[in-house]
Chain A
Amino acid sequence: MSNDNSKSKQEVTSTDEFIKGLWRDNPVFVQVLGMCPVLAVSNTAENALAMGLATAFVLLMSNILVSLLRNFVPKQVRIASYILIIATFVTVTDYAIQAISVELHKSLGAFISLIVVNCLILSRAEAFASKNTIGKSILDALGMGLGFTLALFCLGAVREILGNGSIFNIPIFSDGYQSWIVMILPAGGFFTLALWLLIINAIQTRKVKS
């Protein structure tokens, strides 16, 4: 383990930049960032996937722009400019989702505009993109975005299966299945998140021990 750590400090390969968002620094399961959309929009697998991809897109584009402008923006106004950049891409995403499907836009509702205040995006802009080259920032955004999408999907799938008896709107149980309505409600989000955190932490502790 210690050997592993020192190696990653010495030379951070580009695959590391990508992989870390998926597992070691997963934004939801490890960093526990951006809880508002995680809990609110993960009630079905479809919503979770759409929300994850929308966030990943905003993260990618804002990381690119922040990294491009990193030598041009003075320190005092950096947070303001990051928010401006993020808000721009959120608006762009909002229009794009409307153009893709009215139904999808209906089900994601207010949570698209709330991507602006998703602390995951701001934290990547501040902690990574403003200090690294474009190439690295793109890899970082892809890893973090996909990690976020994956985590949301894990929650959404569990909640939809238990709460609705279906996955991607395809019923998987026979008609006699009594769905757990609580899993679709906000409380179910907390239960499912806790469950996943438990599993992931258990795996990681076991890894450290061995």
Chain B
Amino acid sequence: MSQTSNIEMHNPASSKKMLMAMVGIGIISAFLIVMTFELTLPRVQRLKAEALEKAILEVLPGTVRTQAFGVSTNGELVKIEEGDKTETTLYAGYDKDEMLVGYAIEAAGQGYADIIRILYGYDPDEQKLIGFQVLESKETPGLGDKIEKDEGFLNNFKALDVSVSEDGKLRNKVITVKQGEKQNPWEIDGITGATISSRAIGNIVGTSTTEVVPILYQEHKKDKTSQGQKQMESDEQR
């Protein structure tokens, strides 16, 4: 008790000094941080966009132009302009003849260490997944991070069946099985030594495809018929 009052008595003027020192350092810090943030922001954004663009080209081979889409609340595809943010973002890729190569879809889910963010390519004509890439993961180096590099595992995604049945639902949910036990075209062959991580990928892809693929497939069918009609109309006009 006496000691505390002693300290207070001892330096009556120093609280002002302390406050000044802390505020002064705070101002310097704020200035430095804001300055670096402003200076690096354009480059960071460009690098991130480049990394995403590269990933899209990887999962949708032959793409030269991309267009971002979002899924609206009533389950329709909406074009999004730069800066807009929606819950599910997907990118349509077009080849040099402006024909649709497929859709690149972003998905995320819990992995072994942290949330894993992935991007996969969907080809609505073939009704298959045609590419896959991990955008962000903190899986254990040497074990869990095989989901990014293991060739055998990545080959699963060259033709993974995600066909849609008559009632507008996915016929078979994508699932990860034990290494070497893959029997059906919708199963992912897992990795021994990265069981949890490869299963997590199965879950993420499974959940995301059940949601997004039916919408994309319906949209694609509609597009095709409307395109066909337009084609016929223009043919008639000629």
Q: Do A and B bind each other?
A: yes
| B contact residues around A101 at 8 Å (CB) | 47
Query: Given A99-B47, A181-B143, are A73 and B29 also a contact pair (CB < 8 Å)?
Result: no
The residues in A between 74 and 92 inclusive whose CB is less than 8 angstroms from any CB of B are 74, 76-77, 80-81, 84-85, 87-89, 91-92
The interface-forming segment of B36-44, B164-172, B179-187, B222-230 is B36-44
Given contacts A98-B44, A99-B43, A74 and B32 within 8 Å (CB-CB) = no
Contacts of A76 in B (CB 8 A): 11, 14, 18
For B50, give the chain A residue with the smallest CB separation: A102
Measured between alpha carbons, how far is A163 from B142 in the docked complex, in Å?
9
A81 touching B40, Cβ below 8 Å: no
Q: Once bound together, how far apart are the Cα atoms of A185 and B140, in whole Å? A: 8
A74 touches B21 (CB 8 A): yes
In the complex, chain B residues 46-82 whose Cβ is within 8 Å of any chain A Cβ: 47-48, 51
Interface of B is mostly: helix
B142-A84 in contact (CB<8A): no
Q: A84-B26, A99-B47, A185-B142 are in contact. Are A77 and B18 (CB under 8 A)?
A: yes
| Chain A residue, CB-CB nearest to B40 | A99
Q: How large is the interface on B (under 10, 10 to 19, 20 to 34, 35 or more residues)?
A: 20 to 34
- The answer on a CB contact under 8 Å between A109 and B22 is no
Number of interface residues of A (CB under 8 A): 31
- CB of A51 within 8 Å of the partner chain: no
Contacting B at CB under 8 A, from A138-186, are: 163-164, 181, 184-185
**Does B178 count as interface, using CB distance less than 8 angstroms?**
no
Contact of B232 with A by CB under 8 A: no
Complex: A106 Cα to B32 Cα, angstroms: 24
B36 touching A92, Cβ below 8 Å: yes
Is A96 an interface residue when CB atoms closer than 8 A count as contact?
Answer: yes
CB distance from B21 to the nearest CB of A (A): 5
Binding site for B on A (CB under 8 A): 43, 65, 69, 72-74, 76-77, 80-81, 84-85, 87-89, 91-92, 95-96, 98-99, 101-102, 106, 109-110, 163-164, 181, 184-185
Q: What are 24 of the A-B contact pairs (CB < 8 Å)?
A: A43-B142, A72-B24, A74-B14, A74-B17, A76-B18, A81-B22, A81-B25, A84-B22, A84-B25, A88-B32, A91-B33, A91-B36, A92-B36, A95-B40, A95-B44, A96-B36, A98-B40, A99-B40, A99-B47, A102-B47, A102-B51, A110-B138, A163-B142, A184-B141
Q: Interface on B for A, CB 8 Å cutoff?
A: 11, 14, 17-18, 21-22, 24-26, 28-29, 32-33, 36-37, 40, 43-44, 47-48, 51, 136, 138, 140-143
Besides A69-B25, A77-B18, A84-B22, 7 more A-B contacts (Cβ < 8 Å) are: A72-B24, A81-B21, A98-B40, A99-B44, A106-B136, A184-B141, A185-B140
